[in-house]
Structure formats: structure tokens, C-alpha cells
Amino acid sequence: MAEDDRSTTTDQGATIEDFLAEERTFPPPKSIVSGALVTDRSLYDEADADFEAFWADRARELTWFEPFESVLEWDLPFARWFADGRLNVSYNCLDRHVEAGLGDRVAYHFEGEPGDSRTITYAELLEEVSRCANALRSLGVERGDRVAIYMPMVPELPVAMLACARIGAAHSVVFGGFSADALRDRIEDAEAKVLITADGGWRRGQPVALKANADAALSNGARSIEHVVVVRRLGDAAPDTSMAEGRDLWWHEIVPSQPVHCPPEAMGAEDLLYLLYTSGTTAKPKGIMHTTGGYLTQVAFTHRYVFDLHPETDVYWCAADIGWVTGHSYIVYGPLANAATSVMYEGTPDHPGRDRWWSIIERYKVTILYCAPTAIRTFMKWGTEHLEAHDLSSLRVLGSVGEPINPEAWVWYWQHVGGERCPVVDTWWQTETGAIMISPLPGLTTLKPGSATFPLPGVAAEVVDDAGTRVERGGGYLTLSRPWPAMLRGIYGDPARYRETYWSRFPGRYFAGDGAKVDQDGYLWLLGRVDDVMNVSGHRVSTTEVESALVDHPTVAEAAVVGATDATTGQAVIAFVTLKAGVEVDEEHGEALRRHVASKIGPIARPRTIIFTEDLPKTRSGKIMRRLLRDVAEGRDLGDTTTLADQSVVEELRTRATSQPAEE
Ligand code: WT7
């Protein structure tokens, strides 16, 4: 009997509840099926027959300045899609819609955290992007250059990205929550010429300065930066924003005065569109490379079909931050390529009240909501009264992304947010895949809460065992066995690391780092990461990076970091720390270390729990026993520990882990 067949269990407790949650199925609601873009399997059949022809047909839905002849050149692991074609991403996201008469359609309903709002049509967005593109050119940015962007969630952020795409410069967006050091490292790796930032942004009612961080990043490195363009977002609320003479320029002083036309560059389909840095198992973040034609093809296709987008009537809201790949693909490029109307929100869900999201949905009559399980679990904790005060009846499709969504949260989302009438599409993908790979289609797929269901048309996802043999039913490693148009083209400046990281574990297969299982109906269930990468609030945080940040503190001798299950954030960062001799262990010191990590990497990497220990458990060869630490952190039974150098460490770790309560 397979492990996922729970029907034999006699347990009357949690197992049964689990069983019920897992086995409940949700066929597509009639209200969605009538009028849905996809209600039969023809797209899957088409893609199964010839996946290259399938993607080529999707690519032809874009506007090409020069059509492609070549569809796929596959020199494993290096792919080139539509390589001899020429196009421009900003042209496809803006000009062609305006030329088609859609200039007055709203591209973004922007809402700032303090309550300010802006409505931006496609025609207005095209003008602003063209002006910004001309401003970048006036600063010497040329086709092939890199531009770093470090901004809050304001409309100037997508404008800056599209302006880069227009003139053929690659952008590297660095999430506004990252520290000055993280910004500096990313600028240096990309050798960016210009940095676009803001005086700051709003978060939970407080102004958060960004320019000061940018200055810190530039004060000890990042020498490639010639100019800094600064958006005035906080204005008088900003702590004195200093502007370096000759280097720094205010956005409002150089952008609005530019000519309103800027001819788009005809880019090769394989030209670099952007870099986005993501954590891996080593301390150095990887610059994931995404190119032009294939990327836009797959983000446009998936955005349209996964959310059953009807751009004339839908109001779409992806509540991620543009600083992550979700925002790149599903706030900026996918929705704009599809001429969608989106909501963009700057701040936190609890400002000024815990009903902020629901008031936004009610006000803009949002029809499609895309967010992360960590947000859903937070709302569950806050209680349903905040939703009940608002009319959410405009919603028709709900999406989830970033980590496995537990069935309990899925059902809550379906019931309380979706009013039991909206399909919940659980979408699996990664920074590296560029676009959604595994997901239901709202008008077709029967849903199981907690399952991302099936690979999308044109995608080959397979679960394999340790030996790389395909698993038809049961657990294993999730792999991708064919190239796909939006796939990463490599790690910036490091092709060997690209090959080693993604293509060496299973020959001929991309290994994504995730465990998964296939159930008796062929549904895929994601089981979390199998490598040393944590998933905190839907974001990847490398254990090694946090360890490096801790050891960087003058009092720390050694550190080992693991992820432990956390009811709200999915996983929490747990750090085991050995201090240098003579340093006093106290709560204040733990707080100092937490602050240190936040300042080195960003608040997302801040350890929830720090466990001070005299020694770390090691194998005879000196390797830290991470499995054991994970078990300690999870409060589970420790099992066999005989390879330990010092048995007493285990006992000590166990006591400390249970005696120290989790902190916020
Ligand atoms: C990792 C990728 C994809 C954009 C946001 C995160 C986890 C993502 C799901 C899902 C289970 C998921 C995986 C993946 N993940 N979506 N629907 N179900 N796990 O992008 O930072 O590159 O992280 O997020 O572990 O490998 P990312």
C-alpha cells in the first residue's frame, strides 16, 4: 500500500483530518467554466504532440520586429529560444496595446500605503517609460549595460524596468528590504553603471529610508556606478536625503523634461533582459539570467491561462513585491504583455488596519488575487472578521505561490476569501524557471487542496528517485526533463556553476532542489526543499549566507543555521551559535546577533531563535550534523547519534531547544 493512501488508517485524530483535507476534490465551478479560456485538453494535446511547435505558436502571439526561424537550439544545459528573431519587451508591453487602441485602458491602479493613489493608463505608462529611457540614455546607459534598481513598490519601479528593456540595458532589481551590503555585492557582480533608487518608502506607517542604504553601499565599493537616480517618494518625511554632487540626480529633475518618444531597440530574442539574484547553498548569491523572447512568451502565456485572464474585464492583483521574481513575471511583464489592468500596492496588509487587502479588493473590484501562503496563514491568525466587513464578491480566481500551501490554509482561502466559488491555483515555479511550470487551469482542473496538480502544457516535470529513475507514484526529487522558453540561461559570469548547480545531480535533467510526490491520480505534491536552503515567507534564504553573516560578528566563533517549521512564515531561521571565549551569553547578545544578520542580509534572514552552545555536533570528519540540528530545531526525536564527536552536545542542544520559546 502506498504511503499516501491513508484510507486504511484507523486513527481518529489528525491523520483522519489530514486524509479528509487531502482527498477532498474541487471540480471547476460552473460559473468559471462558462466563459473560461480553457475547458478541454486541446492545449495539452497540442503541446504533447510537438512541444517546440507549441511554444513557437505562443511566441508568434507577440509582436516581432523580425520573425524567428529557429525555435530551439539545445546544447544541454544551454538553451536558445527563437534566437534569430528580434523584438522589444517594452514595445510588446506598451506600444502595441496603444497602437491597438487600448491607450486609455488602466495598466496600474497604484495605492500607496499612506492612502495616496494613482491611476496609470497604458498611454501614460508608455510616455513615462519613454521619458525614463531617454533619461537613462542621457546618463550614458547603452544597449548591453546593466542598471541596478533598489526601490519601494511605487510605479516608478516598473517604469524603470521597462525603460531599461526599451533601450536594451539589463536591469538588476534588488529587493528594497535587502541591506546595503547585499546591494553592494549585487551591484559589483553585475558591474551596474547606474543605480535607480528612492529616498525611501512607507512600511507599517513609518518612512523607511532607502537612499541612505544606497549611499552606504556605494561608500565602500560598487565603483562601477556612475550615477544614482533618486525618486522622491517620502519627500519631507525622509530623513535628510543627501545628494552627491555630480553623481546623484532627482528623478523629477531629469525624467519629466525628456522627449516623450523613445524608439525601442530591436533586441535579439536571446539578449539579456534582466538579472535577479537568488540564494543557493553557498554564501555567494547567484545572478540568474533571463533573456528576451522566450521569457516574455512563457510569462504572457502562463499569466493568461493560469489566471483565466479576460483583460477587458478582469482586475488582477499580485500582492508580491516586484523585488522578487513573482513581481517581475506577474506584476510587470506577464500582465503588461497581456494588456491587463493590475492593482499595485506599496505597503503592509495591516496598515492602517488588518483589513487593508480586503478594502483594496472591494474598492477596485479585484477579480484575480495572487499571493503567498504565508500571507494567507497570517490572515487566518487574524480571524475572519476583517474580511467579513468587505464585499469580496468581485473575486473569481485565487492564486498561491512561494511555498507549499498546506490544505488547511488552502481551504480557508477558498472558503473565506473566495466565498467557495473561486478556484485556487497553486502555482509551482522558481526564480530560475522564470514562469509558472506546475499549476491547475481554473476552467479545467479538478483541484486537491495542497497539490499544484499537473505540469502546464509544454512543460515536462518528472519526479525521480535517487538513481534518477522516474517515479510513477510516490516520493522523490522534482526534475524538469526538457528545456522551456523562460528558463534561466545561466548564472551571470559563471557557466560552470550553472552546470554544476542545476544539471549535475541527474544527467540530462534540471533538478530544482525540491522534493515532490505523485499520488494515485498523477497529481503532484510539493514537499519543500531538499537542499540547505530555507523558505521563509515564500522567499529563499541560504543557510550558508546566514551562517556567514553570524560568523562575521566579532563575538561569534562558529554558527550553524537550519530552517524549522513555523506556523506563519512556513520556515523560520534557527541559529546554533558558539561564541568566542569570554563573551557573555545573554538575551541582549542574541538580539545583537539577530540585528547583525538583518543588517548584513536583510530583515527576512533575521533568525527567529538563537541557541547558544559550547560546541556544535560534528561527524568525525568535522562536518556539522545538520540533520541533527534540524531535528533539534523541529523538536523531534533525535534518532541515531553515534557518529557524534561528543554525545553531551546533543543533550545540551535538546534541552536548550525546548527551553527557549520561539520569539517574534
Ligand atoms: C522555491 C522557489 C516562484 C516565485 C516565488 C519563489 C518554493 C514556490 C511553490 C509552490 C511549493 C513552492 C519551492 C521553489 N515554491 N512555489 N506552489 N508549492 N513550493 O521563488 O525564491 O526562486 O523560490 O519556492 O521550494 O524551489 P524562489
Q: Where are the beta strands (DSSP E) in 174-323?
A: 194-198, 200-203, 206-209, 227-231, 248-250, 267-268, 272-278, 286-291, 315-318
pLDDT (tens digit, 9 = 90+) per residue, 185-224? 999 999 999 999 999 999 999 999 999 999 999 998 999 9
Banded model confidence at residue 646, pLDDT cuts 50, 70, 90: low
Kindly report the protein residue whose alpha carbon is nearest to atom 17 of ligand 1.
Answer: 428
Cα atoms in the Cβ-side hemisphere of radius 13 Å centred on 483? 20
**Ligand 1 atom with minimal separation from the 279 CA:** 21
By most ligand atoms within 8 Å of CB, the mutation choice from 289, 377, 430, 456 for ligand 1 is: 430
End-to-end, the C-alpha distance of the chain in Å comes to 42
- C-alpha to C-alpha distance for 635 and 623, rounded to whole angstroms: 22
Cβ–Cβ contacts within 10 Å for residue 276, how many?
A: 27
- Distances, alpha carbon 506 to alpha carbons 343, 488, 545, 579, in Å: 41, 18, 26, 40
Kindly report the protein residue whose alpha carbon is nearest to atom 13 of ligand 1.
Answer: 403
Structural domains of the chain in order of their starting residue, each with its CATH number: 30-518 (3.40.50.12780), 533-659 (3.30.300.30)
**428 CA distance to ligand 1 middle (Å):** 6
301 Cβ inside 6 Å of ligand 1? no
Q: Are 550 and 593 in contact (CB under 8 A)?
A: yes
404 Cβ inside 6 Å of ligand 1? yes
Banded model confidence at residue 553, pLDDT cuts 50, 70, 90: very high
- C-alpha to C-alpha distance for 186 and 227, rounded to whole angstroms: 16
By most ligand atoms within 8 Å of CB, the mutation choice from 277, 405, 426, 526 for ligand 1 is: 526
User: 73-87, 212-226, 525-539: which has the minimum mean pLDDT?
Assistant: 525-539
The amino acid present at 568, given as its one-letter code, is T
pLDDT (tens digit, 9 = 90+) per residue, 414-450? 999 999 999 999 999 999 999 999 999 999 999 999 9
User: Could you check whether the bond before residue 352 is cis, i.e. omega within 30 degrees of 0?
Assistant: yes
286 Cβ inside 6 Å of ligand 1? no
% pLDDT > 90, the chain: 77
Supply the DSSP string of 46-63, one letter for each residue: HHHH-HHHHHHHHHTTS-
| pTM as predicted | 0.89
Closest by alpha carbon to 433, among 624, 294, 637? Answer: 294
535 Cβ inside 6 Å of ligand 1? yes
